[in-house]
Chains A and B, each alone.
Chain A
Amino acid sequence: MRHLKTGLAALATTAALGVPAIAVAQDYTIGVSIPAATHGWTGGVNFHAEQAKERLEELHPNISITISTASNPGEQANDLEDLVSLRDIDALVILPFESGPLTDPVRRVKEEGVFVTVVDRGLTQDGISDLYVAGNNHELGRVSGEYIREQLDGEGDIVVLRGIPTVIDDERVEGFQAAIEGSDINILDMQHANWNRDDGFEVMQDFLSRFDNIDAVWAQDDDIALGVIEAVRQAEREDELFIVGGAGMKDIIERVMEGDDLVPVDVLYPPAMIATAMDLTVQHFVSNGPVLGEYILGSPLITEENAEQYYYPDSPF
């Protein structure tokens, strides 16, 4: 708040003197705290954060952005302390490792008068974040469920591969189940594949030996989907079913673009949401429009027709 006030004061002064505001505009430091690139999706987060930093700093010379990555919640809490005490940040953009353990550290940052943007995983306490940017897990499940329901004409046997047992996974599955409720779609079984290719491969192999007929697979995640594809290829049952993943990994988007029958669609849950959050946070300092509240990204269905706009060939994800 302190910086914002001086900023406004500076703005008022310059306006009164008739000098272009940009010439003496206040400098702002934005700290970005994200999980280290330990798997595909967070790799994408890192990539898009770096890209956004470059773009925003070039666009706004008075904005400087510091990105720090952490490999566990404890380390991320330490990062927050360092960002405040060493970097004297004016705003924090954080994608928390886990909601619970980071709620209090973020609250302490907030108490220093820092503008707080929380990304993807909400804190467990209301009123801390000024801005919340997230994908919609419930909708990801719903969109996937609706697509499968429509493709199967409301009738068929499917298997579900779940992620790591977390709130994210639960919300997706709830949304999915709500979407197929009332139809004759029968979930043969659900097993956790932990958003991991190898696990996806093994769980799918076992589903294939267990069930003689599978009409569709909801893999929920593109890493899992890649494992599932290999298992299906090995069993030579490509013609019997189709697979719905989720996230927007470039390998899967490529298949969708090419019109692969096995992977006809994908559902977006983009790691690029970190860039959205950084953009909005910068807007808080440079725009005259208010930036606060919640910004929930949609989870659109990616089809052969629109796949190109979600394709980032340079991203590691």
Chain B
Amino acid sequence: MAIDLKTWGPFIALVVLAILGVLINPAFLGLDNLSNMLTRSAFIGIIAIGATFVITAGGLDLSVGSMAAFIAGVMIIIMNSLVEQFGAGLTTVLFGVGASLILGMGAGFINGVVTTKGKIEAFIVTLGTMGIYRSLVTYLADGGTLTLDWNVRDIYRPVYYDSLLGIPIPVWVFLVVAIIGYILLNFTRFGRYCFAIGSNEKVAEYSAIHVDRVKTLTYVLQGICVALATIIYVPRLGSASGATGVLWELEAIAAVIIGGTVLKGGHGRIWGTVVGAIMLTMIGNILNLTDAISNYLNGTVQGIIIIVAVYLQRASWRKTGP
């Protein structure tokens, strides 16, 4: 029973929160609202799935928010500059998407290599890259906002706004990334290595696991996830600025922890992360649906819900855990 609580904790918390939402405002259950909310949670959710790997293997990536802003900025610049050559068509958008993936992998690789080969704490490395990407996007935008060419925008817009079988495309991407993440973490050697390294890096090393390589790979995965999130983010507002993606890193880490992954590593849960990301978005959504709580207190409500959610889960974890 207690084990059930441990696994199902985040899901139960989500249901309780949803019931609260309906009680506060019946509009919460509206199809539009649900679809808006899930679509919104896709950014943080996809990034958080990458973060689940990094954290499970005992690492941490604080740079994801700035990385997303930077990638979004470069994507926009590349697509705008290709309009003349290829016109505002699919080719241009595909170049942008390709650039995003390459940049994401590259940025993740840098985080990984500097952390492992440079033997610097991940916290410091990614705090550094966080500042670098943030200032680079501000520089690229000349302090203002980079805006995607209107015609390209029209081609690209459906990636965020259209639906397939009644489900918005970003939600599909979120779902597919989650399934791949689930398989990768739970049914492959790579996944098991992540658990092993997070539990005890030294032992993992003595067990002939290429610790550096696996850890670097988790950062590369994180970078790919950031790139994917950016690919569905850019068509939403068609712009990027220094204010894009601020604090996403903390939201992603919070989603991971709410979902039951342990911050010090060694234990990760993809579906928990998915629920955590939805829950974070849901809190914001519910607060927007009511004027009963002073706007100034939004942060307080968010903070309390996050702490309570994690506490409930850990309470059962302590009783049954090893």
Contacts and interface: CB of A to CB of B under 8 A. Distances in A.
Nearest to A205: B36
A196 B239 CA distance: 12
B144 A43 contact: yes
| Size range of the chain B interface in the assembly | 20 to 34
B155 interface: no
Nearest to A37: B143
B145 interface: yes
Interface in B235-264: 236-237, 239, 241-244
Interface residues of A, number: 38
Contacts of B288: 191, 202-203, 206-207, 210
Interface string B32-52: 110010001000000000000
A162 interface: yes
Nearest to A41: B144
- Most chain A beta-carbon contacts within 10 A, residue among B25, B161, B289: B289
A201 B237 contact: yes
Interface in A189-211: 189-192, 196-198, 201-203, 205-210
B142 interface: yes
B129 interface: no
Contact of A201 (B236, B243, B284): B236
B199 interface: no
Contacts of A226: 237, 239
Contacts of A234: 161
Contacts of A39: 241-243
Nearest to A314: B142
Nearest to B131: A71
A315 interface: yes
Contacts of A97: none
Given A165-B295, A191-B295, A44 B33 contact: no
B317 to A, nearest CB: 33
B200 interface: no
Contacts of A207: 288
B140 to A, nearest CB: 10
Nearest to A45: B143
A47 B143 contact: yes
Interface centre among A43, A162, A207 (most CB of B within 10 A): A43
A173 to B, nearest CB: 11
Given A47-B142, A203-B288, A205-B36, A230 B237 contact: yes
B295 A316 contact: no
A206 B291 CA distance: 12
Contact of B295 (A46, A192, A227, A230): A192
A317 to B, nearest CB: 5
Interface in A97-151: none
A259 interface: no
Q: Is the interface of A mostly helix, strand, loop or mixed?
A: helix
B296 interface: yes
A202 B40 contact: yes
A17 to B, nearest CB: 47
A43 B143 contact: yes
B27 interface: yes
A40 interface: yes
A309 interface: no
Interface string B301-312: 000000000000
A37 B144 contact: yes
B316 interface: no
A37 B142 contact: yes
Contacts of B144: 37, 40, 43-44, 47, 315-317
Contacts of B145: 40, 43, 223, 251, 316-317
Given A43-B142, A43-B144, A202-B284, A210 B27 contact: yes
B295 A43 contact: no
Interface in A287-317: 315-317
Contacts of B244: 198
Contacts of A162: 295
Nearest to A250: B144
Nearest to B239: A197
**Residue of B30, B36, B40, B284 contacting most chain A CB atoms (<10 Å):** B36
Interface centre among B25, B138, B243, by most A CB within 10 Å? B243
13 contacts: A37-B144, A39-B241, A43-B241, A46-B143, A197-B243, A202-B40, A202-B285, A205-B36, A209-B32, A209-B289, A251-B147, A315-B144, A316-B142
Given A44-B143, A190-B291, A209-B289, 17 more contacts: A36-B138, A37-B138, A37-B144, A37-B242, A43-B144, A43-B145, A198-B237, A202-B284, A202-B285, A206-B36, A209-B33, A210-B27, A223-B243, A234-B161, A251-B147, A316-B141, A317-B144
